[in-house]
Amino acid sequence: MACVLIARHDPGGLFDAVSFGAMLSVTLLCLRRIGLREAYLLAVSILLAVLILQRHDTPALALQAGLRQGAFLMSFILLLGFLYEAALKSPSITECGQFMTRQAPGKRFVSLFFGSSTMSVLFNLGVVSLLTPLIQNGVRSSNPNDPMNSVRERRQLVAVQRGFAWGIIWSPTALAPLTLLDLMPEIDRIRWISLGFGIALLIMAIGWLEDRLRFRKLKRRPQTILPPPFRAIGFFIAAFSWLLFIAVTVSRLSEQSIVYGLMVACPIMMLGWLIAQQLGEPTNTLKNVGRSVKEIVFDKLPLTLPVSITLACAGFIGRATAALVPAEQFAHIVGINTMPHFVFLSLIPLTILVASWMAFSPIVAAVFLGSVFGSLSPLPIDPTLLALSISCGWALAMTSSPIVTLVLLMARTSGYSGRTLAFTWNTGFAVASYTLVVLSFWILTGGE
């Protein structure tokens, strides 16, 4: 992680090479922990590396670009792990989660959808690990023998899944935009956040309406509604504000992107958050903070390595594939210069979804498309709308594909199958969401 951050100031130098070696070493040391998905992605990565060595005009540069993207994504998810683990130790975060899951049925979908989207800014995928057990424990403990518990679980889990998935089209810390910003620096991030937030609110309305119509005949039961934990919400807002403040400050002082600022901010936020959690405690603050840091670094972060290997492989595959495909020729084949813009922008999410069904994760597609289109000069389409379209495809896949990271994590945490989470529970919602996306791009491009 340190080498990746330092290498941003000296691309192609010593620290770049050391970060590549560290990434490969981590992968080798984790071979006993990886599953079928990671093995498959590693095999594809090796095959692409061989093809680059055989067919690319400058194989060293192409491999270096792929390794740099892989090291960036691996270090980024690990650095976010600092933030997640510190947040997980916060009583205020737990209070916010309990408040979201204990709302009246009419408000619960909105609470969980919007809440999971917002909490993912600090938690990333960790919000799923936090809220899923809170939901299941709350439903099963309040009335263990109620035959409708499975339905109530479904309604709440679906709200969390959809909220997290569509939060990535606006969240300032989501992996999708940060990856694309690194590949397409001409993107207007503020405009992207604004448009994405508006679309996410409309998606939330569609999800709420679908939930109400589908379960309109479900008999309600009395439930204790928790009062708003204003103090906990205040702490969450303060933590979020400090994260953005540190990221922006580091970005401007170092003259690097906001992505770099966010990566540097994560370990700083972790230390500050752990110290804040110890204030007022009668015990030794520094000793407790040191113990927590040791636990996070040596016990918790290694558990995320299979996911980090997946992302590293995805980054390498995306850049390597882009290196093997001539950008101008690819752009001509897909018709970016001749197809109406709203049609092209509408087809990208559908393409990413179909690719995810064939075990190509959305991040592979995002890195590939970002690399190819980012190399076109000039880009014949609005880069901000293009990035928004790619992130919409990422969000669509996370609700409609049984083998993307979010669905696999929820399946492992909740006990429901990936097919149930993706197809049984979300097919109608996915169709409605995609229809809204098409309409949105038609409006944003003026129908052109």
pLDDT for residue 266: 85
Q: What is the sign of the dihedral through the CA atoms of 306, 312, 314 and 316?
A: negative
Per-block mean pLDDT, blocks of 10 residues, the chain (448 long): 89 89 92 84 92 91 90 86 76 73 76 85 69 70 68 86 92 78 84 94 94 77 69 81 85 82 86 79 75 88 84 86 82 79 92 86 84 81 91 93 80 80 92 96 89
Rounded Cα gap, residues 102 and 112, in angstroms: 10
| pTM > 0.85 | no
CB 210 within 8 A of CB 410: no
Cis peptide before 378 (omega within 30 of 0): yes
Q: Given this model, what pLDDT does residue 123 score?
A: 66
Predicted local confidence at residue 129, as pLDDT: 67
**pLDDT the model gives residue 220:** 62
Burial profile 99-129: b = 16 or more Cβ within 10 angstroms, e = fewer: bbbbbebeebbbbbbbbbbbbbbbbbbbbbe
Closest CA to 262 of 189, 186, 192, 178: 178
DSSP 219-283: PP---PPPPP-HHHHHHHHHHHHHHHHHHHHHHHHHT--HHHHHHHHHHHHHHHHHHHHHTT-SS
Chain-centre distance of CA 45, in angstroms? 22
DSSP, res 141? H
pLDDT of residue 225: 65
CA distance 334 to 317: 20
Contacts of 294 (CB under 8 A, 6+ apart): none
Residues belonging to the chain: 448
Q: One-letter amino acid identity for 347?
A: L
pLDDT tens digits, one per residue of 355-380: 888 877 788 888 888 888 888 877 78
- Residues 174-211 have pLDDT tens digits of 777 777 887 887 889 889 999 999 999 999 999 999 98
Q: What's the CA gap between 398 and 174, in Å, rounded?
A: 13
**Token pair in block for residue 401:** 């594909």
Predicted pLDDT at 361: 79
Q: Which residue type does 213 have? A: L
Whole-number Å distance between alpha carbons of 100 and 114: 9
pLDDT for residue 142: 59
Place of tokens 């992130």: 391
